């Protein structure tokens, strides 16, 4: 059997080996064994499952959709994981133990060291080959023509998915990748900008609050009521939507609606409806599922799964994602553009 190497490239996951080799590799891939079926979640003083703490997805580059090149292979093999570790290490510099040399373009001053970037360094804990777990083919069920519209506006490549393609210099609105707009929901895991996807979750009897760290774009605070209040009226729209939560057994279920028309997640805008599920499946293992619905964009609901690992609370390694760099950078970018205009 040919050795199949698995790696995440700018355009997504690619794999060498085909035919019988691919089928054998897919057959040998297995789901992770670190989910304890006998685990019982600890309780808060008021009896709810205790999911508090700082959680991280890890510095992953797992693509949203399963790449065509690996067929129906749902999980990575041991060989895949070894190859992926090698690939990830090769793209890191000395700051995180790699040997990749800095290669700035002529005239550039360079960019961040790996330690200051969210570039992928880790293999996803669940060993999945994509974040999508439903539909079974792990593809976004876009309606005809929508994928092309989304692809024309933002890149769909793993690691940088969601970055806007077309930027001008007429004003700040023309530079969406530089502006401090903050994160959107659902959180874009597996990208360099989201980094390790760090969240801090805090609970009270009537609410759950989440702080999202989001690289250079500014994080976000989110409060999710648990008291049964209705959603806001349809005419009131918010950047992160309007969330309402409830406990179903040991799972926190959160329904979010009332997004604005400035929302854009894989083509979904103000009709976006999210159903999120947070389930503690081990002492340091929080499994997060998000189901995405918008019948104007997708032919059916679809679901992503992201494993979250508990971080050391004493180290307190979560930081305010205050985005000032983009605000200062825009001044220079636009001033330079006006200087170029004056010379023409």
6-53 pLDDT tens trace: 333 333 333 333 333 333 333 334 555 567 788 999 999 999 999 999
Determine the Cα–Cα distance for residues 9 and 194; give it in Å rounded to an integer: 17
Q: Which residues pair with 277 in a beta bridge?
A: 253, 289
Tokens found for residue 79: 């060989």
What SS3 class is residue 341? helix
Say what the pTM is: 0.84
| C-alpha closest to that of 89 among 67, 111, 122, 66 | 122
Q: Please say whether the beta carbons of 213 and 188 come within 8 A.
A: no
User: pLDDT by residue (tens digit) across 171-210?
Assistant: 877 777 777 777 889 988 888 777 778 899 999 999 999 9
Tokens found for residue 83: 């190859």
User: pLDDT by residue (tens digit) across 239-297?
Assistant: 999 999 999 999 999 999 999 998 889 999 999 999 999 999 999 999 999 999 999 99
The CATH classification number of 49-73+139-343 equals: 2.40.128.20
């Amino acid at each position: 059997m040919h050795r199949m190497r698995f790696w995440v490239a700018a355009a997504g996951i690619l794999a060498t080996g085909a035919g019988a080799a691919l089928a054998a590799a897919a057959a040998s891939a297995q789901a992770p064994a670190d989910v304890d079926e006998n685990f019982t979640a600890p309780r808060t003083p008021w009896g709810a499952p205790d999911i508090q703490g700082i959680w991280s997805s890890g510095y992953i580059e797992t693509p949203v959709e399963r790449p065509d090149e690996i067929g129906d292979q749902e999980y990575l093999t041991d060989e895949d994981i070894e190859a992926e570790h090698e690939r990830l290490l090769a793209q890191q510099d000395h700051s995180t133990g790699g040997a990749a040399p800095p290669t700035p373009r002529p005239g550039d001053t360079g960019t961040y060291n790996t330690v200051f970037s969210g570039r992928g360094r880790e293999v996803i804990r669940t060993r999945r080959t994509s974040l999508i777990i439903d539909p079974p083919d792990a593809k976004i069920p876009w309606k005809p023509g929508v994928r092309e519209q989304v692809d024309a506006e933002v890149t769909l490549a793993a690691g940088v998915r969601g970055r806007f393609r077309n930027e001008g210099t007429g004003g700040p609105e023309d530079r969406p990748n530089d502006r401090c707009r903050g994160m959107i929901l659902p959180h874009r895991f597996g990208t360099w900008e989201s980094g390790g996807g760090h969240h801090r979750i805090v609970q009270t009897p009537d609410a759950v609050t989440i702080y999202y760290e989001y690289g250079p774009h500014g994080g976000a605070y989110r409060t999710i009521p648990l008291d049964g209040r209705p959603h806001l009226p349809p005419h009131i729209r918010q950047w992160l939507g309007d969330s309402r939560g409830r406990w179903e057994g040991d799972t926190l279920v959160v329904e979010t609606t009332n997004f604005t028309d400035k929302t854009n997640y894989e083509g979904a805008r103000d009709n976006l409806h999210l159903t999120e599920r947070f389930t503690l499946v081990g002492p340091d293992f929080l499994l997060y599922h998000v189901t995405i619905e918008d019948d104007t964009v997708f032919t059916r609901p679809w679901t992503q799964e992201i494993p979250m690992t508990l971080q050391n609370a004493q180290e307190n390694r979560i930081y305010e994602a205050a985005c000032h760099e983009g605000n200062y950078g825009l001044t220079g970018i636009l001033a330079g553009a006006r200087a170029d205009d004056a010379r023409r």
